[in-house]
Amino acid sequence: MMFIDSARITVIAGRGGNGCVSFRREKFVPRGGPNGGDGGRGGSVIFRVDEGFNTLLHIHHRRIVRAQRGRHGEGSNKTGASGGDLIVPVPPGTIVRDAATGEVLADLVHAGETCIVARGGRGGRGNARFATPTNRAPRHAEEGEPGEERELLLELKLLADVGLVGIPNAGKSTLLSRVSAARPKVASYPFTTLEPHLGVMQVPGEEFRTLVLADIPGLIEGAHAGAGLGIQFLRHVERCRVLVHLVDLADEAPIEDRVQAIRGELKAYSAGLDERPWVLVGTKLDAVTGEGRTAALTGLERLATKFDVEWLAISAVTGEGLQRLGHLLSTLVGSREVCV
């Protein structure tokens, strides 16, 4: 299924029904008087969080959504039926903005959470409402009010505990596929990950403890200026409590240069991501041996000390270090509040 994390949509609430002009005319009932009923209220457009959705694809192709209008009033003081509300399901983590002003109308995070984005119009009053001692036979009624209409911008920020970041081919997707049931594309060329992926990791030794991991496309130096796939996918790690910086130990390029490049892109994104707690993780440990392995681990430890962060080396192929990584992430996530 295609992953869509933004959408523009026009929402139109239902118009209220018109009031009715009617008079009571029955045999043996002289001067029956006005009995026109009110129009029904128009339906509203409501967004509701549904955990069964993880993308905005179902909204992306619906340019306009319209709620039901209210029914007109009838004689015998019958009020028209109200229009049905239109409930639009959205995935957790959806931010709703007014397209004209940019104002954030709602940040929908929790399952079942709702937001009325367009209210239905009020129904018009029937002529029975206008009867007075001096005007006993009013011959006018109100029209129903139009419902609210607005254009909205929807933006999805995935909800995850841990965000995996790194340059292309750092081993993010391989790690996610090893510790969870997610199956992102894994290949030996850059930018195999073209869209974010979520996976649920079982914490080793803790039967009921899980962590949600988010894997985003690789970042390269200059991504904030549009290089590579850009940095638009970083919105999906904005809510993560902890970030994991992955570096390929088998890559001959200096580890510090690669980490500094990622740190620079996080800072350029300007959402406080560069201040988020993070862990330095060396990947593809199975691909380095002998003196190369020793040198890589020494460089990794030196860099972690410089940044004052936790570090470890893993191999998603052999499983080395994965148990320790699970415990470390569980501890760090447990000490942090959810970022919204």
Question: Following DSSP, what letter does each residue of 101-136 receive, concatenated?
Answer: T--EEEEE-STT-EEEEEPPPPPPPPGGGG-BTTBS
Cα Rg of the chain (Å, integer): 29
* Banded pLDDT at 2 (limits 50, 70, 90): low
With pLDDT > 70 as the criterion, what percentage of the chain qualifies? 87
Instruction: Supply the pLDDT for residue 105.
Output: 93
In a domain, 340, yes or no: no
Quote the CA–CA distance of 240 and 340 in Å, as a whole number.
Answer: 9
281 is a domain residue: yes
Residues 145 and 70: beta-carbon distance below 8 Å: no
* Domain identity same for 288 and 200: yes
**Residues 23 and 92 occupy one common structural domain:** yes
pLDDT band at 184 (very low <50, low <70, confident <90, very high): low
φ and ψ at residue 137, rounded to 5 degrees? -135, 60
70 and 111 share a domain?
Answer: yes
Please tell me whether residues 107 and 209 are part of one structural domain.
no
- What distances in angstroms separate CA 308 from CA 117, 248, 333, one per listed residue? 45, 20, 17
For range 99-112, the mean pLDDT: 91
Which of 141, 156, 171 is the last residue before a domain boundary? 156
For residue 227, what pLDDT is reported?
47
- φ, ψ dihedrals at 329, nearest 5°: -65, -40
Average pLDDT, the chain: 84
Are 92 and 144 within one domain?
Answer: yes
Residue 55 lies in a domain: yes
Greatest mean pLDDT among 66-70, 170-174, 300-304:
66-70
Number of domains in the chain: 2
Domain boundary residue among 100, 135, 156? 156
Alpha helical stretches, state H, the chain: 57-60, 172-179, 255-269, 290-307, 322-334
User: Which of 14-18, 102-106, 198-202, 299-303 has the weakest average pLDDT?
Assistant: 198-202
The string of pLDDT tens digits covering residues 49-78 is: 998 887 888 888 888 999 999 999 999 999
* pLDDT digit string, tens, across residues 37-48: 999 999 999 999
- Looking at the structure, tell me whether residues 146 and 175 fall in a common domain: no
Same domain, 149 and 259: no
Task: With respect to residue 111, please indicate whether it lies within any of the assigned structural domains.
Answer: yes
CA gap 3, 215 in Å, rounded: 13
* Domain final residue pick, 127, 156, 185: 156
- Confidence band for 177, pLDDT divided at 50, 70 and 90: confident
Q: Which position has the token pair 């992955």?
A: 246
- State yes or no: pLDDT of 192 exceeds 60: no
Asked whether the predicted pLDDT for residue 236 surpasses 70, the reply is yes
Q: Does any domain span residue 339?
A: no
Query: Residues 247-260: pLDDT tens digits?
Result: 888 888 888 888 88
Tell me the β-bridge partners of 90.
49
310-339 per-position pLDDT tens digit: 999 988 888 888 889 888 888 888 766 555
Q: Whole-model pTM?
A: 0.72
- 40 falls within a domain: yes
Q: Determine contact, residues 117/104, Cβ cutoff 8 Å.
A: no
Q: What is the CATH number of the domain that holds 115?
A: 2.70.210.12
Helix, strand, or coil here: 123? coil
- Same structural domain for residues 18 and 167? no
Per-residue pLDDT for 229 more than 90?
no
User: Do 192 and 148 belong to one domain?
Assistant: no
Q: Please give the residue range of the domain that contains residue 114.
A: 1-156
- Same domain for 111 and 190, yes or no, is no
Return the CATH number at 218: 3.40.50.300
Instruction: Look at residue 232 in the predicted model and tell me its pLDDT.
Output: 62
Whether 167 and 315 share a structural domain: yes
Residue 126 within any structural domain of the chain:
yes
Do residues 236 and 146 both lie within one domain?
Answer: no
Q: Is residue 133 part of a domain?
A: yes
Q: How far apart are CA 157 and CA 155, in angstroms?
A: 7
